Structure 1
Amino acid sequence: MLDEIDFEILRHRLDSINEDAAAILANQSGSQLAAEARDLNSVIMAPDGAVVCCGRYVLAQVVSMHLVVRDILDRYRDNPGFGPDDQFLTNDPYVGTLHQPDVVVVAPIFVGDLLVGWSGSTTHQPDVGGPNPGGITYDARSIHDEALPIPPIRLVERGVLRADLEREYLSRSRTAELNRLDLLGQIAANASVVEQVRAICAEYGTERVTETFDRLLDRAEAMFRDRLSRLADGTFRHVAYVEYRPHGLPEGEPEQVYTVRLAMTKTGDQLVLDFAGSDPQAPGTINATYPALANFAVGAVLIHLCGGLLWAPGGIWRAVEIRSRPGTVVHARWPAGVAMSTASTCQAIRVCVNACAARLLETDPDLARHVMASCQGAGGGGGTIHGTLPDGRAFATMTLDEITGGGGATWSADGADSSGFTTSPGASCVDVEVNETYLPILYERRAELADTGGPGTRRGGVGSLAQWRPHGTDRIEAMSFGQGLQHPVATGVAGGEYGGQSVLAVLPGAHAEVATEQPMPVRTYPVAGDQVHLAVSQGGGGLGDPLDRDPAEVLADVVTGYVSAGGALRDYGVVIVDGTVDGTVDGSLDGSLDSAVDGPGTEAAREARRTERIGRAPRPPQPERRGRPVAATLDLVERRTCCARCGTDLCGAGDDPYEVLVVGERAMPDRSPFGVRYRGHERFVMRHFWCPGCAAQVDVQLARTGDPVVRSFELDVR
């Protein structure tokens, strides 16, 4: 019998064992993607593949690793079979990986003849073959134009790496030396887990260890269901967009737009994620397979709904149902191209879950502290580069400069600046010196960029600028994922604004100005030795009405360079003037500032902004909220939906408040860094929804021009 003390000891031992495995993989790897950026992860699984322990690196790589194990259990139990010290390799996104560059290796854990679990590791390989170096072909017509996937193969038999299969696997790659080091690191990581799990089975007894697996799954499920039960029943919706130029699209035509639609329904202690309304699959590489959909969707559930709970994804899975339609951009049918899905459609999946989870959490005053706006997406600076090193060797990889975007704001704090992806909490961008060591490039600049964080009562984290040029070579070929250029990606919540957009440009020299009209990246593009590659990562979404942000906090952002003086007025209605500080900022700053807040000017600017929103003088706020929250900005009072700020009666409890809110639209992209515009931006609008009484900003929605307004929430108020 497993008591609570032993359970706590064993679950922490398992977590430590799993963390050791990730460290072994990173230390063994020769690639900056794994060794520096930690574009990897490791898991421990139950006998059926349910994930009981997962690393905190790229979470979306491992949440659904049970699909790989179950494929092996279903197909290989008798032929070829599996036994002690075997290991299986796959990079097949139709089986269980995200895309072909993410290579998974799993190993059964046997104690004697008893299968007690599985170990798994994954990492993004620099190049896994295919027509385009780096493993991603932008204009692929199907998966046959990409790196061909490898279904699960038994690469290690009873502890011996099969030389023939290793040779076949590495022969596909342009970076075979780096791939071999990654592969050996994954094998060593799994072997370490197997050895250490056997050791604790010998110490505590196999039955207690397997019972720990079961209790971790049961307890994670129970905790998650309890949290869901505290939240309001209802349906929450969000729409996100992906731009893509499929093969053969005429040169004069703008990129096609693919829509990802989520309806999240919470009933009791069960969560349904319905993506069936998403667009049909693309004739190209942005499609997500079902495993990719599952990884990003449930990974986002872990991040945004499971704060403070046990992270045993196999237990969370029991309370989540994913509904999708085969043949769509989020659930592609073979042989659709899928290699670029992680940087495009999968990011849209994550943003949809993020936005809907935030609206669900808003219905409970205690759990609302877990609300977080969206982090950056994989922007125009994300992509691959390839070419030839000075010694004649080929290189192909990612710089990972795009993992410098901002995090989403929360009620307790601004978003983390240049913090990367929330679904990759342990991953980061690579140091410039490391990239310069591995690659023939020289960085001119990497810096955080003002006005890129989404405005709000709490500001989204700012994004960053990365500027490099070829060094020691005359030419580098680059390929961009090209997302977030025509419109922003990182949604705000509770009336907060979207984060800033991406920018990508190839400039004629280090000091050249960025032209405001830029072409969208198409396939691969050259960067010559006398040119500079410039990319701006996106900012995180804001939280709450920007006009409610404390002017002192806006001034502090201006002083530190996160917001410009012009941005302070445009985005927050705060007037900044030159002069000395006399009580407008607390003593936490250095006290010798060159700027200050014009208090009367700010009050007048904000009052004018609110009047402009609704066309008349706004009502004053009420002293306190007086109803049950149905959203951060709306209350239910005597079966009427009312503004939480001023109490204005909007509609009946079951009616659609979006039909009575004041709507304002603006075109893209008045907040784009450097004022850059990309062809196709005119197809999108930003919709702002304001209370007709006090002009409080209730919601902000990105939409295609002419698309209907999305009813973001619909609560069961019986």
Structure 2
Amino acid sequence: MDPVTLEVIRCALQSAAEEMGLSLIRTALSPNIKDRRDCSTALYTVDGRMVAQAEHIPLHLGLMPTVVRAVLERFPPGSLNPGDAVIINDPYISGSHLPDVCVIAPLFYRGTPIALAANLAHHVDVGGAVPGSMSTSAVEIFQEGIRIPPVKLCGRGKLKQELVDLIANNVRTPEEFRGDIQAQLAANAAGERRIQELADRYGPKRLLEYMAEIIKYSEKRMRSGLAGLPGGIYCFEDFLEGDGVTEDKINIKVALTIKGDSVTVDFTGTHPQVSGPVNATRGVTLACVYYSLKAVVDPEIPSNHGMTAPIEVITPPGSLVNPLFPAAVAHANINTAQRIADAMLGALAQASPERVTAAGTGSMSNFTIGGIHPATGRYYSYVETYGGGQGAKSDQDGMDGVHVNMTNTMNTPVEIIELYYPLLVQGYGLLPDTGGAGKYRGGAGMYRAINILGEKAAAAVSTERSLNSPWGISGGLPGAPSRLSVNYKNGGGELIKSGKFTGTLQQGDAIMLETAGGGGFGSPLERDPENVRRDVLEELVSKRRAEEIYGVIFKEGTLEIDTSATAEKRNRLSIR
């Protein structure tokens, strides 16, 4: 098989998946997809093996193959026709949470099925107890919204309008639902066009052969990377800070057994499934495992089915990482997924610390506000996840105010929030002194304060690392914890210690979320004083912290480094 042609076709398939994503983003109606890009797109073989995925959201790496396989059980390739499309969002089939709606379409070439196109998009409302469908106090999935089993959304190119009407009748924002569904159909159509062009150019038989070889190539890369790691058993345990119903610590325990060119990931000993909505389906857990191993073993491996072949994952049924129906799951994507990734990275750091970052902000920090828009009289639903500090690594600082690990969405611009919703952004920015100190500094957390302008609104906010700060590596200090607070118009205030809140806010009330910073890497006393000075100039580190933690002394009244005083201070700190 010609390696040049192989790479050309691989890149063409990757480009097609990326084009699908751009089509979805540009034609979507809701800001959550259009501006935040909370979606993913991919192409599959006819039998459901992922062959190319757009670089959108790592969490969907494991979720979308789970969805496609489940749909093929209900609709085998032989039962699908040109122009068909299947819709699904049931987490106990798809592996995600209810707002993530997946649309899958068979791709035909001259009457013969040749591939599948799929996309997954987070809709701003799918019903349930609160606007945004993300209650932190839900105790069963029925409180989280409408569940859609695998069902045909289109048949032979004709939209099943009765089904769309049924679903739209059960969500608070039907206009946005209808617009985003049309965008999802358009995204798959873009993938179909590109697949047909490739089949025209190379012939369908040859294209399928190269698709199979691309999958084999990724498996070879993953096996080679695993073989390069020291064999052994590596264990790590991390904790969630409650499930939204209780504030009890919830453990996630993982044991990685690396043997030759394969690895077994065992979550035995992880907490049983809980009452609150942080239970992670097996699909979510698989996504976290695949992401963590790819990031550490070989980040350049093409994302497809092949890279998962050397990986065995054990998830005890009835546990936090493989719950039984009808456990609530909405915030597993938000919090549990990030903690599974942290646990995986903590274990991998024992095998190869130079390849692993310190713990990051530790949550996608979900923030939803919804109610009746005074200007239209219709429901609105503001949905966003907030970035924080990235953990530092062995040779560079963590990034500030970004999403890390399992998510890759963007922050919604202030102008978009205030244009679409009756909300006022009172404050938005990076938080100084939140990145964990180290030779390489952890990234800074961020904050956003939002004031309610409408008559009243329902809010649901969920974050983590409020009580247990993101850990550092090799002597690096932990990042600062997150904080969630509500300031009421009447003058009262409330600090939400658990980081999880569901309640009603009145006009004039404000809610502020401060996300956690990332952990540091290496001793703070080894950080280049010039880098500390730069951090102070950029207001990411205070002058006091520079002196007390990093041991960098500035000449009086200036930000010029006092070299001799710095050496003396660092010597005293190192002895202590």
Structure 2 counterpart of 1:438: 420
The alignment status of 1:376 with 2:361, answered yes or no, reads: yes
Does the C-alpha gap of structure 1 residues 518 and 109 become closer, same or farther in structure 2, counting only changes over 3 Å? closer
Structure 1 counterpart of 2:394: 411
Deviation at 1:360, TM superposition (A): 2.5
After superposition, what is the alpha-carbon deviation per residue over 1:50-108, rounded to whole angstroms, capped at 9, x for unaligned?
A: 21111111121243422222222223339x93222211111111112421111111112
Structure 2 counterpart of 1:151: 149
CA–CA separation in structure 1 for the residues paired with 2:72 and 2:489: 56
Does the C-alpha gap of structure 1 residues 527 and 598 become closer, same or farther in structure 2, counting only changes over 3 Å? farther
Structure 1 counterpart of 2:482: 502
The alignment status of 1:524 with 2:517, answered yes or no, reads: no
CA–CA separation in structure 2 for the residues paired with 1:408 and 1:482: 17
Structure 2 counterpart of 1:304: 296
Match for residue 371 of structure 2 among 383, 387, 394? 387
Matched to 2:45, the amino acid is A
Structure 2 counterpart of 1:690: none
The alignment status of 1:611 with 2:575, answered yes or no, reads: yes
Deviation at 1:149, TM superposition (A): 2.0
Q: What SS does structure 2 have at the residue aligned with 1:597?
A: coil
* Paired residues for 1:548-627 under 5 Å: 548-579=526-557, 594-612=558-576
The alignment status of 1:469 with 2:447, answered yes or no, reads: no
The alignment status of 1:228 with 2:226, answered yes or no, reads: yes
After superposition, what is the alpha-carbon deviation per residue over 1:449-495, rounded to whole angstroms, capped at 9, x for unaligned?
A: 11111211111111112122123x1333211114222222x332233
Contact 1:246–1:282 (CA under 8 A) maintained in structure 2: no
Q: Which runs of 5+ in 1 are unaligned?
A: 250-254, 363-367, 580-593, 613-718
Does the C-alpha gap of structure 1 residues 527 and 569 become closer, same or farther in structure 2, counting only changes over 3 Å? farther
Deviation at 1:519, TM superposition (A): 4.8
* Paired residues for 1:45-64 under 5 Å: 45-64=44-63
CA–CA separation in structure 1 for the residues paired with 2:225 and 2:303: 15
Does the C-alpha gap of structure 1 residues 227 and 513 become closer, same or farther in structure 2, counting only changes over 3 Å? farther
Matched to 1:413, the amino acid is Q
Structure 2 counterpart of 1:682: none
Question: Which structure shows the bigger proportion of residues in helix conformation?
Answer: 2
Q: What SS does structure 1 have at the residue aligned with 2:466?
A: coil
Q: Which is worse superposed, 519-528 or 233-242?
A: 519-528
Deviation at 1:520, TM superposition (A): 4.0
Does the C-alpha gap of structure 1 residues 313 and 578 become closer, same or farther in structure 2, counting only changes over 3 Å? farther
Match for residue 81 of structure 2 among 80, 83, 89? 83
After superposition, what is the alpha-carbon deviation per residue over 1:209-229, rounded to whole angstroms, capped at 9, x for unaligned?
A: 112211111111111211111
Structure 1 counterpart of 2:345: 354
Contact 1:305–1:357 (CA under 8 A) maintained in structure 2: no
Matched to 2:372, the amino acid is T
Structure 1 counterpart of 2:42: 43
Q: Which is worse superposed, 598-607 or 407-416?
A: 598-607
CA–CA separation in structure 2 for the residues paired with 1:415 and 1:112: 50
Q: What SS does structure 2 have at the residue aligned with 1:30?
A: coil
Does the C-alpha gap of structure 1 residues 495 and 435 become closer, same or farther in structure 2, counting only changes over 3 Å? same
* Paired residues for 1:678-689 under 5 Å: none
Contact 1:262–1:275 (CA under 8 A) maintained in structure 2: yes
After superposition, what is the alpha-carbon deviation per residue over 1:667-690, rounded to whole angstroms, capped at 9, x for unaligned?
A: xxxxxxxxxxxxxxxxxxxxxxxx
Q: What SS does structure 1 have at the residue aligned with 2:91?
A: coil
- After TM superposition, the score normalised by the length of structure 1 is 0.76
Does the C-alpha gap of structure 1 residues 600 and 528 become closer, same or farther in structure 2, counting only changes over 3 Å? farther
Deviation at 1:186, TM superposition (A): 0.7
Does the C-alpha gap of structure 1 residues 522 and 556 become closer, same or farther in structure 2, counting only changes over 3 Å? closer
Contact 1:285–1:338 (CA under 8 A) maintained in structure 2: yes
Q: Which is worse superposed, 519-528 or 548-557?
A: 519-528
CA–CA separation in structure 2 for the residues paired with 1:211 and 1:361: 36
Q: How many residues align?
A: 575
Q: Which runs of 5+ in 2 are unaligned?
A: none
Match for residue 273 of structure 2 among 264, 268, 281? 281
The alignment status of 1:319 with 2:316, answered yes or no, reads: no
CA–CA separation in structure 2 for the residues paired with 1:521 and 1:544: 29
CA–CA separation in structure 2 for the residues paired with 1:72 and 1:178: 25
Contact 2:451–2:510 (CA under 8 A) maintained in structure 1: yes
Matched to 1:244, the amino acid is G
After superposition, what is the alpha-carbon deviation per residue over 1:125-166, rounded to whole angstroms, capped at 9, x for unaligned?
A: 000011221112222222122214212111111111111111
Does the C-alpha gap of structure 1 residues 190 and 146 become closer, same or farther in structure 2, counting only changes over 3 Å? same
Q: What SS does structure 1 have at the residue aligned with 2:104?
A: strand
Q: What SS does structure 1 have at the residue aligned with 2:384?
A: coil
Matched to 2:203, the amino acid is G
Deviation at 1:509, TM superposition (A): 6.8
Match for residue 539 of structure 1 among 499, 514, 517? 517
Matched to 2:268, the amino acid is A
Deviation at 1:508, TM superposition (A): 4.6
CA–CA separation in structure 2 for the residues paired with 1:157 and 1:503: 49
Structure 2 counterpart of 1:693: none
CA–CA separation in structure 2 for the residues paired with 1:598 and 1:105: 61
| Backbone CA RMSD of aligned residues | 2.3
Deviation at 1:194, TM superposition (A): 1.6
Structure 1 counterpart of 2:170: 172
Deviation at 1:119, TM superposition (A): 0.8
CA–CA separation in structure 2 for the residues paired with 1:468 and 1:383: 10
After superposition, what is the alpha-carbon deviation per residue over 1:337-382, rounded to whole angstroms, capped at 9, x for unaligned?
A: 11111112111111112222333233xxxxx3x4323332226x52
CA–CA separation in structure 1 for the residues paired with 2:461 and 2:347: 29
Deviation at 1:523, TM superposition (A): 4.6
Match for residue 432 of structure 2 among 444, 450, 453? 450
Q: What SS does structure 2 have at the residue aligned with 1:94?
A: helix
Contact 1:454–1:500 (CA under 8 A) maintained in structure 2: yes
Does the C-alpha gap of structure 1 residues 216 and 522 become closer, same or farther in structure 2, counting only changes over 3 Å? closer
Matched to 1:175, the amino acid is T
Matched to 2:480, the amino acid is G
Matched to 2:255, the amino acid is A
Does the C-alpha gap of structure 1 residues 260 and 245 become closer, same or farther in structure 2, counting only changes over 3 Å? closer
Contact 2:389–2:442 (CA under 8 A) maintained in structure 1: yes
Matched to 2:108, the amino acid is F
Structure 1 counterpart of 2:459: 478
Structure 2 counterpart of 1:656: none
CA–CA separation in structure 2 for the residues paired with 1:598 and 1:508: 46
Deviation at 1:246, TM superposition (A): 5.4
Does the C-alpha gap of structure 1 residues 32 and 303 become closer, same or farther in structure 2, counting only changes over 3 Å? farther
CA–CA separation in structure 1 for the residues paired with 2:183 and 2:435: 38
CA–CA separation in structure 1 for the residues paired with 2:177 and 2:66: 24
Match for residue 327 of structure 2 among 324, 333, 336? 336
CA–CA separation in structure 1 for the residues paired with 2:119 and 2:496: 40
Deviation at 1:411, TM superposition (A): 2.6
The alignment status of 1:424 with 2:407, answered yes or no, reads: yes
Contact 1:506–1:527 (CA under 8 A) maintained in structure 2: no
Structure 1 counterpart of 2:117: 119
Contact 2:401–2:446 (CA under 8 A) maintained in structure 1: yes
% identity of equivalent residues: 28
- After TM superposition, the score normalised by the length of structure 2 is 0.94
Matched to 1:378, the amino acid is S
Matched to 1:454, the amino acid is G
CA–CA separation in structure 2 for the residues paired with 1:246 and 1:520: 8
Larger Rg, first or second structure (1 or 2): 1
Structure 2 counterpart of 1:398: 383
CA–CA separation in structure 2 for the residues paired with 1:223 and 1:205: 27
Deviation at 1:112, TM superposition (A): 3.6
After superposition, what is the alpha-carbon deviation per residue over 1:614-647, rounded to whole angstroms, capped at 9, x for unaligned?
A: xxxxxxxxxxxxxxxxxxxxxxxxxxxxxxxxxx
Contact 1:302–1:313 (CA under 8 A) maintained in structure 2: no
Match for residue 140 of structure 2 among 125, 139, 142? 142
Does the C-alpha gap of structure 1 residues 148 and 509 become closer, same or farther in structure 2, counting only changes over 3 Å? closer
